[in-house]
Structure 1
């Protein structure tokens, strides 16, 4: 089982106990505001998401980690790697992404978790390049991307929802660890 510890967080594979807290995160309109078309996701949709994320681990050797607080064991969201099939123009690529519950915003958790996932991608999984995609108005996610050392390389549109997106990238030669 793949686990990564940071000073405050545990990044790990998903368990059945994660379904309800992740569904609560996905049900928050503010959390989902910059995801796809901004629609919230219910318990059943979240269960399907987690199943798909776990399948990606099995198929690709990487995936989205459940992120919990080390002190309390509370699930605060996810971070990790996925293939951005929704945006064929950037393929082949591996994307780093994150989604945290609103109570955990503004405390550096997204940056801490994403940094660990980026290191996992470039050093453990041997990827040469990682991208990240955000709605152009999602300044909080773009701030995390800058903290990771990523640079903006392209603006485009979501092919289904038509929302403006910005693609950031970092490669192994740019990664400072």
Structure 2
């Protein structure tokens, strides 16, 4: 599976993605608003990569590796998954993203997420997609707003007690905002 935008390639994972992804997951600033804010070890990142690939096999959608077309280097990821960490929103499909710090502020998350939403609605046949972010993660909330998502609720993640916002968009809303 491979998608392309004007500046980006969204693709399935490769073995050589582990080290650059481990560097992203090991950056305290990147991980500040993820889960309980802890960085991940290389082994935890490897397990997460295996989990992301299983999602594709089990559901036909999942998390894409994101790379700028001009360099081909791993910038991070964007994609669709089941947010099992927040049972109160289930059944649901969540869109999320994580980029290395040097890729922040360039519109990459918005561009990649817009394409992943398009994929979710047109290729995966989803009718509604949510996104979840820590209430203080203003950059992620701005991406969600740019995508046309609307806030549904604020709640707390049971496993670590962090406050989060849940936003959503339907296929019809996406089609109106982004032209189908």
TM-score with structure 2 setting the length: 0.97
Partner of 1:151: 150
Structure 2 regions of 5+ residues with no counterpart? none
For residues 25 and 35 of structure 1, the distance between their equivalents in structure 2, rounded to whole angstroms, comes to 12
- Write out aligned runs for 1:41-120 (5 A): 41-120=40-119
Please list every run of 5 or more consecutive structure 1 residues that lacks an aligned counterpart in the other structure: none
Distance 1:42 1:6 in 2: 31
In structure 1, C-alpha distance between the alignment counterparts of 2:7 and 2:130, rounded to whole Å: 25
Aligned residue in 2 for 1:164: 163
Structure 1 counterpart of 2:9: 10
- The whole-number CA distance in structure 1 between the counterparts of 2:150 and 2:16 is 36
Deviation, 1:173, is 1.5
Q: CA-atom RMSD, angstroms?
A: 0.6
Cα distance in structure 1, aligned partners of 2:146 and 2:125: 21
TM-superposed deviation, 1:14: 0.3
Count of residue pairs the alignment pairs up: 176
TM-aligned CA deviation for residue 67 of structure 1: 0.4
